[in-house]
Chains A and B, each alone.
Chain A
Amino acid sequence: MAIQTPNGFNLDTSGKRVVVDPLTRIEGHMRCEVNIGPDNIIHNAVSTGTMWRGLEVILKGRDPRDAWAFTQRICGVCTGTHALTSVRAVEDALDIKIPENANSIRNIMQLSLQIHDHLVHFYHLHALDWVNPVNALKADPKATSELQQKVSPKHPKSSPGYFRDVQNRLKRFVESGQLGPFKNGYWDNPAYLLPPEADLMATTHYLEALDFQSQIMKTRVIFGGKDPHPNWIVGGVPCAINVDGVGAVGAINMERLNFVSDVINQTTEFVENVYIPDIIAIGNLYKGWLYGGGLSGKSVLAYGDIPENANDYSAANLLLPQGAVINGNLKEVHPVDLRDPEQIQEFVPHSWYRYPDEKVGLHPWDGITVPHYELGPNAKGTKTNIIELDENAKYSWIKAPRWRGHAMEVGPLARYVVGYASGHKEITEQINATLAALNVPIDALFSTLGRTAARALEAQRCCHLQRHFMDKLIARIKAGDSSTANVERWDPETWPKEAKGVGFSEAPRGALAHWIKIKDTKIDNYQCVVPTTWNGSPRDNEGNIGAFEASLMDTKVERPEEPVEILRTIHSFDPCLACSTH
């Protein structure tokens, strides 16, 4: 019955088919189907993107300078990363160089997103897979306070009275019978392992993080005017700097810079005193549950991001690592070239799209997006009432991107694996310290928990990088440079008749790139290959399964009808379905 995929997984479609749809606590709409054997182990996994909006179709014929605004609306969670990627693609196509200050401001904004997204993901989208808020009612506030002081001595909110207040509030909430977002959770499932005190501490931080997170994004409100969906421009940033003189009050001035600086400090404190300690504490209690590695120990990909100096997108100048690791060989990090037609290609044999020849993949510059919804012959149900999908046919709105034919995992863990494999000093230190704190071997990294931990470590590192670019920004202003935009090529009349470019970034969920072709000042083709397109990819012609599907394989589930383990592992990728299909 079982077949082996080229990327090394044994698929067995016997057993009970369990469907999770909607798969919640993610961005967008996703469905998951697994086959669970009598041993309660997952032997086959199918993940499906269940939405499509057609941004690539909508972008055709538009002004390339507007593309950031459209692509930004691909996602309001990783908001801004598409916009940044888009202006980079246009700047690449038109050979526009941005000022250093614009680079620093963009980096600060992008780093804010990383930190915010990671934090909100952990507390509000992921924590309930590990933490049981109902169980928190049984906690002793005094013991909770002691636990808090032990795991994070610097966090000021740690008194027994504080935890008692939160617990009382929680109690009133639960007793009201209106459980709100906690309704119908799997609260008596044995998969939850935390003692009540840890549950109370983490639930308290769920609320603290909810109250705090908007603070992080204020940097983007200052530089971009609003958030989600701040404003960007091709050629730099829209916010002018004026720290001294007439009208400075209406620009980025000392007060605004202090504001940003203060936000960076508060953010760093929260990440270091709440987020990181929680990850270590929860990780310690769950370190026996090391499922979910999937592709992370085999094939990972990172494009890199956060250019130290403006306009240099070479790996050496990027502070987030770039490279590919394949076949689990950490000794070799392959260079990645987004322009090479042989490296990145998208396939659609199992996606709801049409290619003239579906046996071949297309490099995104030549990519096409033609929707084509149809269920396979073995699907159960009807066109508008899917009971079970047929994964041997088309089954997802996500395309299947491949790097030199390999299905790849992207994201914080991929970045950390690439960083580790390439001997990146800071990243290696962070990883080693965490492994030591949890007392686990390096292999533990390739797991659901590893993904969750890498995200937290990255958030912490991003805080430090933010400080670095803030200092850099101020140093340049001090040196007399307050330029924020290059307008030489603003006017479309200065553009060549035809041009093409690629822009990339590391979005919170992983490697992101946009490919653009410009013709007669209008967008001729625009293709996005997005982190969750990689991770949520369906199968390809060869039968390789994507990162989501791979990660679920061989996982033991306590109660097949209560999909906590499936949620836990899929959530560890922080899936974004609006992104994946766009």
Chain B
Amino acid sequence: MRFTTLTLAAAFAFAACSNDKPENNDTDTLKGDSTGVTVEVDNEGSKTTLPSPLRVAMMFQRSGLKFIPGITFGSDKAINFSTKFQKARIMGVYSSDLAYTVLNKQSNESQKLLKTIREVAGQIDLGKVFDQTNLYDRFNANLDNTDSLGGIIGDIQYQTDLQLQAGGQTEMYGIIFSGAWVEAMYIGAQVYKKEGNDNVVLALLEQMAVLKSILEELNSYNTQDADLKAWIAELSALQTIVDAMPSIKKLNENPDLEFKDVKPTSEEMAPVIQKIEELRAAIVKG
């Protein structure tokens, strides 16, 4: 009897503990490609990878994105951020600003930005990325060599990924990258507004495909954190605006089309850019 009571209590407790978690069916079935045999699809966890901020910046660079002083956030404002969530997002912003300045050979600003990134990293348990490596010194010793800096930034990204995994804080990965992505889109949008370069519009369009991956990654965390939930809602609102663009609809309906085959008008881009500016303002406000 006592055993039965305990068992029932444990079962009840399990239900109580699990109650506020969403119902999540992690499996599905599918016919195998080669065999035709029905296989179970394992949907557990994140199903996407996210590109590094440097790779995003390089894509914009290939589109002819010019350097315009004053667009980046500035390297001296990290002090305004108090929560780990805010710091992770702003670290992403700084990562994109660093990539933008490195690719445009702005050595002094790059040096300051890396110093700030190191400080913010230390505040969100990523201090080992720099403390246990010589990456900071290597970066400063190669300031005039963009190719070498590309490799060093790749190594910083690698060490960051290792530390996130080792520290059991893989959720930070999506948050940091979402900040980086918004900043890269913000820089692209500002340059487009000032220069009107059509290739930058195509780069912005190509980057919009990444937003779905970001949302997929963030949603895979099944978070109960209010800040992250609100941030996911904001990014989802941007996705809705993007999906409503005639150019995106045309691309989705015609899989053989390339980005260069669709030319979004400035009217189409306006609500997207406005939302990106809002998101960026929300991040830098802290």
Whether both chains belong to one complex is answered with no
Question: Which residues from chain A sit less than 8 Å from chain B, CB to CB?
Answer: none
